[in-house]
Amino acid sequence: MIRSLFKFGLLSLFAVCGLGCGREPGPPSSPNPGFTETADLTTPSNSASKEADMNKTASVTREKLNAEVDGKPLEQFVLTNKNGLRAVVLNWGGTLASVETPDRNGKFDNIVCSFSPDNERFLKNPPYFGVTCGRYGNRIAKGKFTLDGTEYTLATNNGGNHLHGGVKAFDKYIWNAEPVQGEGFAGVKLTLVSPDGDEGYPGTLTSVVTYKLTDKNELRIEYSATTDKATPLNLTNHGYWNLKGARAETGTVLDHVMHLNCDSYIAVDDESIPTGKLTAVKDDSPMDFTKAKPIGQDLGKLTNDPQGYDHCWVINGGGDSTKEPVLAAEVREPSTGRVMRVLTTEPGVQFYTGNYLPGTPDVHGFAKHGGFCLETQKFPDSPNQLSFPSCILKPGETYRQVTVHEFGVE
């Protein structure tokens, strides 16, 4: 049984501050045009006590960092709920940079892998740590699709395919950001306007992503978008999670125990492009998480990608944005007791096990399988797969998506 799941109000140990809070800025390791000195966003400080946090309501703090990108200031928004949970969101890339939750002993730790901004690769962020992917998260085959009789050619950045929106996608921009607050939550609203032709996509698209940290110990990510021309759209967050604590020295996530509310997954070719076939997980045991099991239990049985998991599962009952989010996944970490549940209105969830994290300093030391992703989304390559649910947003329509991360202990 889960003990005090989603209720941390009785915990009294001190909380750590959000990434970069109270840290002195340091110079970048090498010159980078448009990027000035940065504050350290990677190490929580101990400047606030948990007892003090218990007396607070949900709050959001806006902090300008000693950095600019393309002449615009880099900012972080520190969200805190009444129970002392904290999340840090950057306006750069709509990035979720930190989520701090307690273990079963009340010890708080950040559980989101983050990218050290002390060199220019912070701006490139090759693993996509915590970013908002758009216009299209995941892959589009050959970077091409046909819509209303017109063929469109997109930027290709994953072999010959299009991945996560292209070369300069939504994760490579400063978003307009403003704090938001309401009863029982603190948050930040991020807005980005993508012009017609951006990375090859049609239409001027306005996207809004709102992060809300609630007093129920939920992190809600609410998406909406409008366009003036029909365009494919698939927004998602690319957070890497390690419930032991997101530090290189904590090791892999292979002993995390996961359940997926998914009876089938999308078969792919050797370039991770869907074949169009939905495959029952019972027919392929490494893909079966209908009963909870350690993430690494069946890794050796994978045939198409022996490095690890990188597939989209089909969520049972998912795909209806007019209804409440349904369960996609539940993950437990035995040594800390941390539990995370992911619910969404999307039809699919891309489960990725950080197969190509190199363990080098430029990715803050995170190595292979050092974090896992649960990217809620439309199915990959949907613009070219007529049997998949449509991903096309048309003028006069509003794209909506909600994904909720619930945090607890057992």
The single residue of 199, 330, 375, 406 carrying the catalytic annotation is 375
> Please, what's the largest Cα pairwise distance for the chain?
62
The DSSP symbol for 289 reads -
Higher pLDDT, 46 or 87: 87
DSSP-assigned states of every residue in 30-48: S--TT---B---SS----S
The single residue of 162, 164, 238, 405 carrying the catalytic annotation is 238
pLDDT tens, position by position, 342-401: 999 999 999 999 999 999 888 889 999 999 999 999 999 999 999 999 999 999 999 999
CATH code for residues 1-252+339-410: 2.70.98.10
Is 375 an annotated catalytic residue? Answer: yes
pLDDT tens, position by position, 9-58: 322 222 333 333 322 223 222 323 232 222 334 334 343 444 444 557 89
Bridge partners of 109, per DSSP, are 101
Cα separation, 268 vs 260, in Å, equals 19
Higher pLDDT, 152 or 364: 152
The first and second tokens of residue 405, run together, are 């991360």
What is the C-alpha R_g of the chain?
20
Q: Which of 311, 313, 384, 350 is nearest to 141 (CA)?
A: 384
Is 256 an annotated catalytic residue? Answer: no
- What's the pLDDT at 9? 33
Mean pLDDT of the chain: 87
Burial grade of 269 (CB within 10 A; 0-12, 13-18, 19 or more): exposed
User: DSSP H helical segments within 69-174, as ranges?
Assistant: 121-124
